[in-house]
Structure 1
Amino acid sequence: MSHNASLLQHSSSVVDVSPHRMVLLLLLLLLILPLSNLVMTSSLSPVVHHSDRVSANKVCHHLEMPDGGMTVRCSGQRLTQVPVGLSNLTIHLHLDKNLLRYLPADSFSNLFLLTELDLSHNQLSLLEAGCFRGLASSLHFLDLSSNRLSTLDPAVLGDLGVLANLSHNPWHCDCKMQLSLPLLDLDPDSLAQVICQSSDIPNLGTVGIPVVLLVEDWDLCLSVRRTIDVVMLITMFLWFFMLFSYLFYYIHQNQEHARRHMEYLKSLQSRQV
């Protein structure tokens, strides 16, 4: 009988370990998962088959300039990707009136002398971070007008700081847009056509007004900061809730073990008598 009671006490202590570990795992998950959702910034990008890219020598017109540079015109060639083999002497590059939908990173990284880049009248909807890498020291004018761009991430622009035409795009005015605009010098002739087609605060009459007016008068990053604060508050609340639940469970289990131990000792004493 004494052996059976010892086994019972041992088995109860073994069972007690599993909930202890489960509570600790839950605490770790509550701390890690919300934070990982906040910093997760990766997104799916279209697959680029570089073998399908057309050579610039076949579809582009090259005009040599007196200073030794080159103007390269690839307009209206129904290109779906930036052509390969662009000369590193290119100063003006015209890729307008094509079918470009996506610019991958390092699309123009070898064009160190490029001063003007025309990407207007395409179907661009996604610019990958680093797509303009290598152009910061040379590029003076960037034309992204008449595309399908809805957002502009500061990571895309880097330290570009060029005169830009962003008109005739379905812009969604959000925190990213507000952070990106100061990095560019918007073409004054195009300002009235850089319109918010949607925004993070649509109920306040912000849709349909020029982007520059919205970012000057409203704090579009306020909702992002509030969301982060709410998530952190909920995470802390859940963490403390689980901590107090564990403490309550631990105290309760210790009391139960103490009660069983006392009953076991009383049973031994009664048998000895």
Structure 2
Amino acid sequence: LFWLLLCFSPCASCPQHCQCHDHLGAMAVLCSSGELEEIPKDIPKDTVFLKLDANKITAIPSNAFKHLSHLQELDLSRNAIEKIDMAAFKGVADGLRLLDLSNNHIQSIPKEALIKLNAKIRLSNNPWHCECTLQEALWEVKLDPESVNEITCQTSVEEEYIGKPLLQVLDTGINFCNIHQKTTDIAMFITMFGWFTMVITYVVYYVRHNQEDARKHLEYLKSLPSTQVPKETI
């Protein structure tokens, strides 16, 4: 009866489709293959190991794990995650040691979501779009060395890098942020040129229109009958 009562509290608070048990003195919550479509909101606060792999989760909203201050390992692999909010991992930055986001549908991730994480991060087997935002995000993280070569450019701002491992591309010296800056500069130049052309066109139109009005006014004055003042006889 004593052991039943001791176990009752954590067991009763365990999320649906999950299993909660003590693992070497730490709370482990196992929700693998539970057909979950979103992250449970009733995960025990003392959770240290959390497995949410092989579900149908599509997004990680802000503050999804904020109450899990003891969390050390978080497995979100083999889901359908496409969107990760900037504050998705707020509250777990200090203690988190491992974050697994491999085998999802992630194309891009905001650097703000990862900037404070000290965890080893797995990002392999996602349909990454290789451009400045992704490069900036990867500058902020500690990637898992065992899976780093499986981060591949499925799409890219430069077609020649499609299908190649991202780190292999970066080793060539390519800087997607420079490409982005050049593209932005060109777009700004085109915009400014368009505005300049519009201004010049308006000025030319204005001058020509005024010249036409002045010409018509002069012709009108010429068409008026002339009046001569008679000379006074002395």
* Distance of 1:216 and 1:136 partners within structure 2: 29
* Distance of 1:151 and 1:216 partners within structure 2: 20
Corresponding letter in the other structure for 1:250: Y
Corresponding letter in the other structure for 1:259: R
* Distance of 2:158 and 2:206 partners within structure 1: 48
1:199, distance to aligned residue in structure 2 (A): 2.8
Distance 1:235 1:183, change over 3 A: same
1:179, distance to aligned residue in structure 2 (A): 1.1
Contact 1:107–1:132 (8 Å) recurs in 2: yes
* Distance of 1:227 and 1:246 partners within structure 2: 29
1:211 aligns with 2:169: no
SS of residue matched to 2:48: strand
Contact 1:97–1:121 (8 Å) recurs in 2: yes
1:151 aligns with 2:108: yes
In the alignment, what sits opposite 1:5?
A: none
1:111, distance to aligned residue in structure 2 (A): 1.8
Distance 1:141 1:240, change over 3 A: same
In the alignment, what sits opposite 2:184?
A: 228
**1:8-59 deviation per Cα after TM superposition (whole angstroms, max 9, x unaligned):** xxxxxxxxxxxxxxxxxxxxxxxxxxxxxxxxxxxxxxxxxxxxxxx95322
Task: Percent identity, please.
Answer: 37
Higher relative contact order (CA 8 A, sep 6+): 1
Corresponding letter in the other structure for 1:61: Q
Write out aligned runs for 1:120-139 (5 A): 120-139=77-96
1:238 aligns with 2:194: yes
**1:69-109 deviation per Cα after TM superposition (whole angstroms, max 9, x unaligned):** 52211111110100121222222211111111222222222
Contact 1:122–1:146 (8 Å) recurs in 2: yes
In the alignment, what sits opposite 1:258?
A: 214
Corresponding letter in the other structure for 1:124: I
In the alignment, what sits opposite 1:96?
A: 53
- Structure with more helix by fraction: 1
Contact 2:121–2:142 (8 Å) recurs in 1: yes
The gaps in structure 1 that reach 5 residues or longer are 1-54
The gaps in structure 2 that reach 5 residues or longer are 1-12, 229-234
Give 1 or 2 for the bigger CA radius of gyration: 2
Segments ≥4 residues shifted beyond 6 Å? none
* Distance of 2:64 and 2:193 partners within structure 1: 46
- State the Cα RMSD in Å: 2.3
In the alignment, what sits opposite 1:170?
A: 127
Q: Give the alignment's TM-score, normalised by structure 2.
A: 0.81
**1:173-213 deviation per Cα after TM superposition (whole angstroms, max 9, x unaligned):** 2222211111111111212322333433333xx34443222
Contact 1:143–1:164 (8 Å) recurs in 2: yes
Contact 1:88–1:112 (8 Å) recurs in 2: yes
Corresponding letter in the other structure for 1:111: L
* Distance of 1:238 and 1:187 partners within structure 2: 48
* Distance of 1:56 and 1:212 partners within structure 2: 40
